[in-house]
Structure 1
Amino acid sequence: MTALTIESEVRSYCRNWPVVFDRARGSRMFDRDGRSYLDFFAGASALNYGHNHPVLKRALLAHLERDGVTHSLDMLTTAKEDFLTEFATRVLGPRRLDYRVQFPGPTGTNSVEAALKLARKVTGRSTVVAFTGAFHGMSLGSLAITGNAAKRAGAGVPLGHTWRIPYDGFAGDQVPGLTLLDSMLADSSSGVDLPAAVIVETVQGEGGVNPASLTWLADLAQLCRRRDILLIVDDIQMGCGRTGPFFSFEAAGITPDIVCLSKSISGYGLPMSLTLFRSELDVWQPGEHNGTFRGNNPAFVTAAAALREFWADSTLEKQTEERGVLFEEKLGELADRYPAHITASRGRGLVWGLAFRDPQTARQVADAAFARGLLVETSGSYDEVVKLMPPLTSTDEELAEGLGILREAVTSAVAG
């Protein structure tokens, strides 16, 4: 009996990367035969600081060696206290964000579920506005505000209490979503009740690497304030520096009412998520929203170490923004070289996508990249976008190597 004979058919990534991985460090993974793969997937952005970063690893090992608490529900521990102190000092304080911190459970969808429940509890309203192309998680509340039809179909029950509007750039902006939302809310005969919240990704990752313009995000925030609607930013994949700043919404100059964080918040790929919200929204009763694994102390340890290592100053942020300019240039050159196949290159910071006219070509590019030792995934409504998310800690040489392999893979796919 082999591992694959007992694992469910629901498995996915191992189908596209059919090797057995054994070790990982920095920007590389190694299979059990010793072959190296440059990782431009980064755990779907759960590994912004790379694999087994030595500073974070030392902190984790030291905690375990001294028999530090591993599981604690929401009890106060030294690891939790240290993380909250570092988060307040290095993230919330410098940005003047008056947020309470909730530990809703170990995954991103836990954070989204908590955000939705809190918004409905605070406002007494039930409807949430979501966007075309959105992805917010795989539990029922999160699926209700997710756009992808295949993922929604897996729910097996009706998914309601959501009003969906066009995201920035949808259908070439022929149907401007914010104008539609404002007009419907202004007309008492529209049949649209005032929603509890609007939830948005500043860059849609699973939706195909769709960055909203900073102006559009600012307009959305202003609309929510004017209409007394809570604004939730899902920063699960784009937060923790993926677009440059710690929070992806910072560049737009907005302050969401509620923020969802997960993936790289632990710094080490350990399960952890946060729901942040303005202090006046903290209307929870003790234990009203909870979870057995919301106190993952090893994750607190590596998260605190990551904040000290990478967010003591603006070095990482500036480096990521500079590298975003490089990716824009190199991917733009690819798009210009193959206009019959590539419809767009788009992104921000160190999340980028190449959109192909034929989804099959995107799959062929990803497969050709894997054969050459580069891990990239596809995303978008039809998996037509090759998505690039290298660790933020990658060296210049590794980024150049990965872009070179991608160029070869694209050339191979379109020539074949």
Structure 2
Amino acid sequence: MTITQPDLSVFETLESEVRSYCRGWPTVFDRAQGSRMFDEDGHEYLDFFAGAGSLNYGHNNPVLKRALIDYLERDGVVHGLDMSTSAKRAFLEAFQNIILRPRDLPYKVMFPGPTGTNAVESALKLARKVKGRESIVSFTNAFHGMSLGSLAVTGNAFKRAGAGIPLVHGTPMPFDNYLDGQTPDFIWFERLLQDQGSGLNQPAAVIVETVQGEGGINVARAEWLRKLADVCERWDMLLIVDDIQMGCGRTGAFFSFEEAGITPDIVTVSKSISGYGMPMSLCLFKPELDVWEPGEHNGTFRGNNPAFVTAAAALETYWSDGSAMEKQTRARGEQVEQALTAIVDENRAEIKEFRGRGLVWGIEFLDKDRASAVAKRAFELGLLIETSGPEGEVVKLLPALTITPDELDEGLRTLARAVRETA
């Protein structure tokens, strides 16, 4: 693809140096539909990024767009704080009837604010309030957000350093297979809990991702998650599952923990819950944990009514017929796995491994700079992919769940070419 130099002057002179994704994709995007984005010069890009997992149903999904336009055209409430609105009622009823009841999940629903880190902060605050303790256990290579409480349970040293102050009341433990299977699961964690001399304060909760997205696509086994749930129950700790990126069908089932057969005490959801890429997050928790006083945790934008509208439409469109979306995602995942197997076979000396579930996958390169080179070449070839992992050593694939088999095959062929041409 021949790309003319775009006019980036206003971004470079006025916008903060903190910007990041635009550095890897130096063009000016203008419109998007489905799994494709277009820049203002008309160049087309196949999107294997999906808004960092916020666009599980693709860009400008026509069904969700129609619901949103109809709502706005009738002057539906846009900003409502936590007031009761018809849009919120429709979402809550759809979420209860389509998602919670069929899975026998008893959760209360809290709208803590528009972003994922808002949901995590509310989960941590609630756990501490319920248990009367400060300490939270997290895991190596975890990522839970960029606000201070979320950073305290995040593993990445670069992101933690940005806090500028000590990050306290969080203790990391080894994630599944962090020690390459050399020690039994949770032997260190439980030893610290048992030993009055360990220095570990009794935790209020444990927070975990079933698949660590930013951490490098590290997949927790169902057995490991069940053991973790058991440890939490035996030691009177709440289990928080951060399903912000891996929820809403990304791994197959609507919630990524369903495969393990566990029921977390608290679940955080954001990104694709709105269905349309609009800010929205949920903190779900068991009814007995609902000890909040009115207004004890609030926020001006916790009532994003247009997001309620598209969220309800997404649930009714893609999840009301049982397991169809889950089966489609698993089938697409098998297609990805086959293609990545071929890429690894072709580049065995350069690739450590690939891993994933559903429609989230990663390729880890032995040369830690290689992933960035592959992502750069993929962009030049018309494919948007990002990197992850503590040193950016993993190419991360996060296509929309609604991507067609042909589009998926096109992107995977482009990826294989990018790997080949950066060798």
Bin of the TM-score, shorter chain as denominator length: over 0.9
Distance across 2 between alignment mates of 1:240 and 1:413: 34
Alignment of 1:19 onto 2:64: no
The code of the aligned residue for 1:354 comes to: I
SS at structure 1 position matched to 2:127: helix
Structure 2 portions without partners, runs of 5+:
1-8
> What is the correspondence of 1:55-66 to structure 2 with a 5 Å cutoff?
55-66=63-74
SS at structure 2 position matched to 1:353: strand
* Runs of 4+ with >6 A deviation: none
SS at structure 1 position matched to 2:103: coil
Deviation for aligned residue 1:189:
2.5
Deviation for aligned residue 1:178:
1.3
Number of residue equivalences: 414
Deviation for aligned residue 1:336:
2.1
- Contact preservation (8 Å) 2:58, 2:400: yes
The residue that corresponds to 2:326 in the other structure is 317
- Work out which of the residue numbers 152, 164, 167 in structure 2 matches 1:156: 164
- Range moving further from structure 2, 191-200 or 115-124: 191-200
- Work out which of the residue numbers 343, 350, 366 in structure 2 matches 1:357: 366
> What is the correspondence of 1:20-99 to structure 2 with a 5 Å cutoff?
20-99=28-107
* CA deviation map 1:362-412 (0-9, x unaligned): 111101110110000000011000000000000010000000000000000
- Contact preservation (8 Å) 2:270, 2:281: yes
Distance across 1 between alignment mates of 2:153 and 2:161: 13
The residue that corresponds to 1:386 in the other structure is 395
* CA deviation map 1:12-39 (0-9, x unaligned): 0000000000000000000001111000
- Work out which of the residue numbers 401, 409, 413 in structure 2 matches 1:400: 409
Structure 1 portions without partners, runs of 5+:
none
* CA deviation map 1:140-180 (0-9, x unaligned): 00000000000000000000101111100113133555111
SS at structure 1 position matched to 2:32: strand
Distance across 2 between alignment mates of 1:127 and 1:275: 19
Alignment of 1:121 onto 2:162: no
Distance across 2 between alignment mates of 1:31 and 1:176: 51
Distance across 2 between alignment mates of 1:272 and 1:68: 17
- Contact preservation (8 Å) 1:165, 1:177: no
Distance across 2 between alignment mates of 1:315 and 1:268: 20
TM-score by length of 1: 0.98
The residue that corresponds to 1:193 in the other structure is 201
Alignment of 1:295 onto 2:303: yes
Alignment of 1:334 onto 2:323: no
TM-score by length of 2: 0.97
- Aligned identity (percent) is 65
Distance across 1 between alignment mates of 2:179 and 2:13: 43
The residue that corresponds to 2:280 in the other structure is 272
Distance across 1 between alignment mates of 2:224 and 2:47: 32
- Contact preservation (8 Å) 1:167, 1:177: no
SS at structure 1 position matched to 2:250: coil
- Contact preservation (8 Å) 2:185, 2:224: no
- Work out which of the residue numbers 142, 145, 149 in structure 2 matches 1:137: 145
The residue that corresponds to 2:262 in the other structure is 254
Alignment of 1:231 onto 2:239: yes
SS at structure 2 position matched to 1:171: coil
- Contact preservation (8 Å) 1:166, 1:175: no
Alignment of 1:203 onto 2:211: yes
- Contact preservation (8 Å) 1:27, 1:39: yes
* CA deviation map 1:83-134 (0-9, x unaligned): 0000000000100111000000000000000000000000001000000000
Are residues 175 and 155 of structure 1, via their aligned partners in 2, closer, same or farther at CA, if it must alter by over 3 Å?
farther
The residue that corresponds to 2:353 in the other structure is 344
The code of the aligned residue for 2:406 comes to: E
